[in-house]
Amino acid sequence: MNGIVHGGGGAPGARGSAPGAAAMVPPKTAGAAADKAADFANYFCTYAFLYHQKEMLSDRVRMDAYYTAIFRNARHFVGKTVLDVGTGSGILAIWSAQAGARKVYAVEATNMSQHAKKLVAANGFHDVVEVIEGSIEDISLPEQVDIIISEWMGYFLLRESMFDSVIIARDRWLKPTGIMYPSHARMWLAPIKTRLGDQRVQEYQNAMADWGCFTQKTSDYYGVDMGILTTSYFEEQKKYCLQTSLWNSLYPSQVIGTPALVKEIDCLKATLKDVASVFSPFKMPVTSQETRLCGFAGWFDVHFKGSPHDLVDHEIELTTAPRDDETTHWGQQVCTNSLK
């Protein structure tokens, strides 16, 4: 299978939308005051809840990857200054301090920073970790740092577009010899078999049938003919049921061909322009016999490799590919053939 993929940062959907539903939350925006208010209403508000932070803190694959990356490479952290972009509960900042960092700046846009401050103090690191409430774009630090650590990845890597903020932080606050944790990221796309497409078509048909009953009742009981809105409602439902990707946790056996690498990011070098769009020619041979191509799944991995002049001792990978055992809360993003 050959193809071209378009897309990239800024696509709708804050991470943490209910699995199984197509996320319809507007993207995080940058810039003007009105945009900032919209950011808080649409994107950041979810991160202000401990419930949501707990979901991320309970993701074993995610936690183990960051934990191992930091502690198996503690040499990088000993005596160094660290910036944690989007510290949330403060977990990565505390681990950085435990690994021996001299100073950690833990920046968080939401008032989750208040919980982070408590957690830092309760774990005895208030003299090392300084929690700063504010957008990374707006805050100021007294010095440049040796390491930027961040967990910025959204669905299919770029869906939250938080990496834009990490790039801004890197360009302002990372020393020329600095290291990014993680250092590299990749996006993958693969042909899959799934019943999700059939389910979504059914969902769309049910919605249309339900609209018919609804308009009839509204006319009979309340004397208003809603028929004029039928086309708009169908268009809206079509977009929701058939034209948006959705979250799913796939088994490896559902991947019916060779995954294609559609984007590679070097976190030390990537520019805002590099991550504004993904445009990639690719080949995805379907290798399973007697199968049905039902759609495509996208996922990502990130790597902790250190920097070219200071490689890690132990390279760690965090992958969100389909697997039989423990899955991640990112799952995979599925586009079904029902997309029209």
Ligand X SMILES: C[S@@+](CC[C@H](N)C(=O)[O-])C[C@H]1O[C@@H](n2cnc3c(N)ncnc32)[C@H](O)[C@@H]1O
Contact 21, 333 (CB under 8 A): no
- Identify the active-site residue in 151, 235, 290, 326: 151
In sequence order, the β-bridge partners of residue 301 are 186, 319
Q: Which two tokens stand for residue 226?
A: 């809603």
Binding track over 32-51 against ligand X, x by CB under 6 A: ------------x--x----
> Least distance to ligand X from the beta carbon of 215, Å?
42
Q: Which two tokens stand for residue 326?
A: 């423990």
160 is annotated as an active-site residue: yes
Side-chain-facing half-sphere of 290: CA atoms under 13 Å: 0
Residues 6+ apart with CB under 8 A from 116: 87, 88, 89, 90, 93, 106, 108, 131
Give the Cα separation of 158 and 229 in Å (integer): 35
Please say which residue, 18 or 224, places its beta carbon nearer to ligand X.
18
> Least distance to ligand X from the beta carbon of 113, Å?
9
Please say which residue, 180 or 255, places its beta carbon nearer to ligand X.
180
Q: Provide the angle, in degrees to the nearest 10, between the axes of the packed helices 112-122 and 91-98.
A: 30
Interacting span for ligand X (CB under 6 A) from 96-104, 109-117, 281-289, 299-307: 109-117
Give the Cα separation of 338 and 316 in Å (integer): 37
With vertex at residue 212, the alpha carbon angle to CA 211 and CA 217, rounded to the nearest 5 degrees, is 95
Rg (CA), the chain: 22
Give the Cα separation of 184 and 202 in Å (integer): 40
Rule CB under 6 A: choose which of 69, 91, 179, 187 binds ligand X: 91
**Residue 155 contacts ligand X per CB under 6 A:** no
Please say which residue, 109 or 334, places its beta carbon nearer to ligand X.
109
Rule CB under 6 A: choose which of 5, 23, 56, 294 binds ligand X: 56
Binding track over 216-245 against ligand X, x by CB under 6 A: ------------------------------
Interacting span for ligand X (CB under 6 A) from 129-137, 210-218, 260-268, 324-332: 129-137
Contact 44, 112 (CB under 8 A): no
Helix, strand, or coil here: 18? coil
Kindly compute the dihedral angle of the four CA atoms of residues 13, 14, 16, 19, in this order, to the nearest 10 degrees: 0
**Residue 94 contacts ligand X per CB under 6 A:** no
Rule CB under 6 A: choose which of 92, 120, 128, 145 binds ligand X: 92
**Residue 87 contacts ligand X per CB under 6 A:** yes
Contact 148, 83 (CB under 8 A): yes
**Residue 148 contacts ligand X per CB under 6 A:** no
**Residue 185 contacts ligand X per CB under 6 A:** no
Size of the site for ligand X (CB under 6 A): 21
> Least distance to ligand X from the beta carbon of 139, Å?
8
Please say which residue, 107 or 157, places its beta carbon nearer to ligand X.
107
130 is annotated as an active-site residue: no
Active site residues: 151, 160
Report the interface residues with ligand X, using CB under 6 A: 44, 47, 56-57, 86-89, 91-92, 107-110, 112, 135-137, 151, 162, 165
